[in-house]
Amino acid sequence: AQSVTQLGSHVSVSEGALVLLRCNYSSSVPPYLFWYVQYPNQGLQLLLKYTSAATLVKGINGFEAEFKKSETSFHLTKPSAHMSDAAEYFCAVSQPGNKLVFGAGTILRVKS
């Protein structure tokens, strides 16, 4: 069975600082991995996805994530945080054709 662990339910960074949101997964077969962002009272927006191509994936809004098989990780990063990045972020794993399994989410707070 697949599962996702997001380390840190809350992360706080200063504006302009590096953003690092951690995600580890377990999967018996090569996974597809996703990061979604959710703003208050809204649905989820896809940030980026890994589907077995390049291990470094670039997404929208300056975010990127690197798939590391040896570490079973797919951490999300952004070099410089912006106030508008404050939201909740979800990591998810799926296998082709299967449903998504979500992590518990990480709330990102950006301090001015």
Partner 1 sequence: GAVVSQHPSWVICKSGTSVKIECRSLDFQATTMFWYRQFPKQSLMLMATSNEGSKATYEQGVEKDKFLINHASLTLSTLTVTSAHPEDSSFYICSPRGGGEETQYFGPGTRLLVL
Q: Hey, what amino acid is at 83?
A: M
Binding mask 48-87 for partner 1 (x = CB under 8 A): -x-x------------------------------------
Q: How far is the CB of 4 from partner 1 (least distance, A)?
A: 9
* CA dihedral sign of residues 97, 4, 42, 17: negative
Q: For residues 39 and 27, give the distance between their C-alpha atoms in angstroms, rounded to a whole number.
A: 28
First-to-last C-alpha distance (Å) of the chain: 41
Q: Is 112 in the site for partner 1 (CB under 8 A)?
A: no
Residues that bind partner 1 (CB under 8 A): 32, 34, 36, 41-46, 49, 51, 90, 94, 96-97, 99-100, 102-105
